[in-house]
Chain A
Amino acid sequence: MDMKRDYYEDVQLMSSPVVIFWFTALIGVLYFFPLFVGSYYVYVANYIAINIIVVTGLNLLVGYTGQISLGHAGFFAIGAYGTVILMAKAGFPFLLALPCAAMVAAGFGFLLGLPALRLEGPYLAIATLGFGLTITQIIGRIELFGGRDGLHAPDITIGSWVLDTDKEFYYLLITLTILLLFFMRNLIKTKVGRAFIAIRDADIAAQTMGVNILYYKTLAFAVSAFYAGIAGGLYAFVLKFIEPEIFTLLMSIMFLAMVVVGGLGSMLGSIAGATLLCWLDLKLRNILDIPYIGDWLENLSKHWFSITGVSNIQYIVFGSIMVAIVLFEPLGLYGIWIRTKKYWRTWPF
């Protein structure tokens, strides 16, 4: 169905006018939706958009280049702290501080990419995991970064526009998200993107064909870290307050879970995975408030489990989703979408 017949079909950003129409419509909806909903839903949308940025970046590394990273919370933390510090201590404007902090994250990504050249599988997993834990520890000990007490994010001003509500921030965030997603889509369609995919499919063969593994693997780590850095910088302003305890191993695991649940090597998948898991995350934090299920769970917890630990059900839900996706649908939500599309294409025959 998705067969490509010539080179230009392979490199074009949107496959047909229909797709372009729906994307324009979606962007329109995204820009107008805060006018009709309460501020809680705008906050949810902000949270989801930030996760979409990280997950897209991580998918470039995991899905397209075939590396594993359990340390993305580290890059996320560098972005968040970098942006806040540059704005509060060095007086940078927001639009300059954000890319600068993200470039620092990208630099660390490049450094982490160097050992990754020789490592694979569990070895790479432990190296990246160690990186993520180390970054959080180091940030927590440095006085300039506020130590364990954390830091307050200053207000964002762009020119004379002060963004002090969630809604105003939403417009900035959604613009950045769309730009970054387009850039990623473009990157994947170029020579660079094809080199990443070649490394994933067979690195030795890619090297034989003249793909510079050293350059492209470290580039994949750097770009992925850049995305995580941007997202981290934005996340600081959603929370308004950052502390080292936010950026845990669990966060890195959740990013990886979003990539896998959404679908490896697919941008639509990243968006779907991030949206689904973030929404579930926010819902399950107050699990007892969910109608019907909440009451039933409360009873069950009182009789058999402990009522204080009831919020931990979210771990069970996330774990089950991760296991189920790998067992039953290795392509993730994107795979489900592809199969549905295929089924309905020839309907009713």
Chain B
Amino acid sequence: MIDLIQMIVNGIAVGSSYALMGLAMVIIYKTSEVPNFAQGEMALISSFFAMMLLTSFNMSVYPAFVLTFVFAVILGCFLEFAILRRAKEPNVLGMIVITIGIEMILLGFVSWKFGAEQKTMPFPIGPYDSFIIGDIFISKLEVLTLVAALLLMSVLYLFFKYSKLGLAMKATQQNSVAAQIVGIRTNRILMMTWGISSLVGAVAGLLISPTIMHPFMMWDPMLKGFAAAVMGGMTSLPGVVIAAYMLGIIENLFGGYISIEFKTVVAFVIIVFVLCVRPSGLFARHYVKKV
């Protein structure tokens, strides 16, 4: 019984980082229908930027993190402005290829600049500080990730539902021509979307970096986050968080009871089966294409 609860707790903990990455991808997909494969590497470059500030420039933690978040927002805005906006007549394949291209550029840059070996991040909370409740272990970092994921989800949900900017983003996605007619600058909205998404990604990157820090560290969270986003329906913010926790818990239970070796791929098998039954994910309405 203790094992089961411990596994579920671990699943929730790992699900939180998937949820953050998934949220970041969904924000972009919601407004511009671009599946952003570069999300992981945008977060990667932000967390390496934070590490550089902390170690090479000897900054203290909080100003360094604030600077990192500013950097992340600027990075997101810049990528949208300089690359995504320049695409003529974009289709889904073209967008996937562009974002994979950006991903490779950022990945190459980070591993050229910092080398491929494992680094340590001077984070205020170490990866092994943990709470013990009864017989259940949970690390402080995992609690922080969980809080961050739930907090960001609620803030973003309220933001998309009630704020003027969030409504404008929704309008841009639903019908960008109509949005332009009523006076929304869709280009600027898209740029802001990329900025916000990059910020959410940077939070995820910073929270992952104390445990694992090398140029490929974001691949697994990014792919699982993407899987969660797809399972949740690509457009629903609570959907992606629920799906991320489901994936995290199923993954851990599968690893504990059936086979530890296939733990990392079980998420993708689930995804394929879920998509067979509900082609638009669990929490999104399926739109039938009209001729």
- Digit string of B100-111 for contact with A (CB within 8 Å is 1, else 0)? 111111111101
User: Contact at A257–B100, with CB atoms within 8 Å?
Assistant: yes
Which parts of A129-165 form the interface with B (CB within 8 Å)?
Answer: 129-131, 133-134, 137-138, 141
- Chain A residues contacting B92 (CB-CB under 8 Å) are 68, 120-122
Query: Most chain-A Cβ atoms within 10 A of its Cβ — which of B102, B104, B267?
Result: B104
Say whether A130 contacts B108, CB under 8 Å.
Answer: no
Bound together, the chains give a CA A130 to CA B113 distance in angstroms of 30
Complex Cα gap A129–B190 (Å): 27
Residues from chain B with Cβ under 8 Å of A1 in the complex: none
Whether the Cβ atoms of B265 and A305 lie closer than 8 Å is no
Tally of B interface residues using CB under 8 Å = 54
Number of interface residues of A (CB under 8 A): 52
8 Å CB interface, A283-316 against B: 301, 304-306, 308-310, 312-316
A314 and B94 contacting across the interface, CB-CB below 8 Å: no
State whether B97 touches A306 (Cβ < 8 A).
no
Shortest Cβ distance from B262 into A: residue: A137
Task: Tell me the total A-B contact number using a CB cutoff of 8 A.
Answer: 158
**Residues of A contacting B117 with CB < 8 Å?**
308
Interface residues of A in 313-336 (CB under 8 A from B): 313-323, 325-327, 330
Is there an interface contact between B112 and A326, defined as CB atoms closer than 8 Å?
no
Please, which residue of chain B has its CB at the minimum distance from the CB of A135?
A: B265
Which residues of the other chain, B, contact A323 by a CB distance below 8 angstroms? 83, 98, 101-102, 105
> A312–B111 contact, CB under 8 A?
yes
Please judge, given known A-B contacts A137-B264, A322-B101, A323-B101, whether A314 and B83 are in contact too, CB under 8 Å.
Answer: no
Determine the distance from Cα of A25 to Cα of B219 in the docked complex, in whole angstroms: 46
Contact of A126 among B107, B112, B227 (CB under 8 A): B227
Contact B275 A315 (CB under 8 A): no
In the complex, whether A118 has a CB less than 8 A from a CB of chain B is: yes
Q: Name the CB-closest residue of B to A318.
A: B104
- Distance of A335 from chain B, by nearest CB (Å): 13
- Whether B107 lies near A322 (C-beta < 8 A) is no
Q: Is the CB of B97 within 8 A of A319?
A: no
B269 touches A134 (CB 8 A): yes
A312:B105 contact, CB within 8 angstroms? no
Check: A246 CB closer than 8 A to any chain B CB. no
A172 interface contact, C-beta 8 A: no
Contact of A305 (CB < 8 Å), options: B35, B106, B112, B261: B112
Please tell me if B276 contacts chain A, counting CB pairs below 8 Å. yes
* B86 contacts the other chain (CB 8 A): yes
Docked-complex contact B96 and A320, CB < 8 angstroms: no
Q: Does A125 have its Cβ within 8 Å of any Cβ on chain B?
A: yes
7 A-B contact pairs sorted by A residue (CB < 8 Å): A62-B93, A121-B35, A134-B268, A137-B261, A256-B97, A257-B100, A330-B89
